[in-house]
Amino acid sequence: MTSSSGAAERLSRMIQIPTVSAEIDERGAEPFEAFVALLEELYPRVHAELQRERITDLGLLFHWRGADSALDPVVLMAHFDVVPVDASDAWTYPPFDGRIADGFVYGRGALDDKGPLLVVLEAVEALLTDDFVPARDVYLSFGGNEETFGEAAHTIAQTFQERGIIPWLVLDEGGAVVDAPLPFVRGQAAMVGVGEKGPMTVRLSARGDGGHASAPPTLTAVARIARAVGRLTPGTFPAHAPEGVTRMLARFAPRSGGAARPLYRLLAAKPWLTARVFERLGGEPAAMVRTTVAPTMFEGGTAANVLPSQASATVNLRIALGETVARTTDRIRRRIADRRVTIEVVDGEEPSPESSSENTQFGLIARAVGQSHPAAETVPYIMMAATDSRHFHRFAPAVYRFAPLAMSAELRATIHGVDERVAIDELERGARFHRSLIESLPGGDSAA
């Protein structure tokens, strides 16, 4: 069941079903129902031996009873919806063909997140074939609208709370096995997200006098909004290094060479210095230590020679750990410093807490990585994107984000991009990871 070629064929069939959640109003629910039916065909033991619930139209929850159901369970998460494809992009193979070529499976969702979903099911199906019973209950939580903010996963998490079930471990998509994750760091690292930033969308709007563009006022509605956006510079929010970042640097120090080793040790011991250094580096390092601000949409005007009576801008933020939606909104208001600009929080979620990298659960993940990717060091880090697991992190103490697949920088760039693909050999390694993790779950006498 876990052969690379068989897994590749199964993933190919999954990719061929265009489960684009952002287009569900156009395509209808049929692709999602077809995907659910395909899973039943591809993984018959999972469906015969695990209890399956449909939670909302797009949520699947499988319950695998373990040897001791009194113990807190494990939740393995993934999502089966994908983002849209820009028709103007030049893919090597059509994005929904699921083409198998050159040692890869190509197509939208290969990495995000049908490949990671597949390796969970490959492992569970194989273990069921061997009549294996886990030490504690295992749940498989699959959502069909993660890319549109995950209402299915939110409801599944609520269901756990209503039933009084607090998971011992939750594992969702997130980091991956990567090469040279930071400058001067040698070898592979399995990057495990121990927390994630909070997604927030803000709309800025202003009104002004309309009229002919030949006699504009000093400050038009468009100019007022442009000025407001211009004031939201990268330095709008202060930088601070969360514990996950300093723990990451401490793990990297022994694997770095030259002057980098004492530097990483110093940064691991001095969070305030880490915040300043990462802030100056910009890009992903800066995003790890501060709230990011990204204007994404502007609106206003009906004609080239007409002054618009109103204008607006949409700004996407990722709130740093330790901050809140309320404090973020207040800082935006103070930075813009214009009472004629209306600030509307369209949506906003608090950043997650941080899970420990010194507990039994993280150690279990590290041991499973040792089975699937023996050369990789398991390292904590902070996720900058949002995952479905954030809904569990409000009440579950140990929530992690990791897809057990090796991804080069080039492959990671294909996520939500062109020529998304996964190495066929990685599907077998990913299934090996989940098999090891499930087989090693501690029972009542060994859990900490």
In this structure, the number of other CB atoms found within 10 A of the CB of residue 270 comes to: 15
Q: Which long-range contacts (CB under 8 A, 24 or more apart) does 161-168 make?
A: 161/395, 165/72, 165/73, 166/72, 166/395, 166/396, 166/397, 167/72, 167/73, 167/74, 167/75, 167/139, 167/392, 167/396, 167/398, 168/71, 168/72, 168/73, 168/74, 168/136, 168/361, 168/398, 168/447
Q: Where are the alpha helices (DSSP H) in 175-270?
A: 221-231, 243-252, 260-269
DSSP assigned state of 167: -
- DSSP SS3 for 434: helix
For the record, the structure tokens of 191 come out as 């990057």
Catalytic residues: 81, 146
**Encoding tokens for residue 22?**
């952002």
Phi then psi for residue 429, to 5 deg, are -65, -40
Q: Would you say 68 and 136 are in contact if contact means Cβ atoms under 8 Å apart?
A: yes
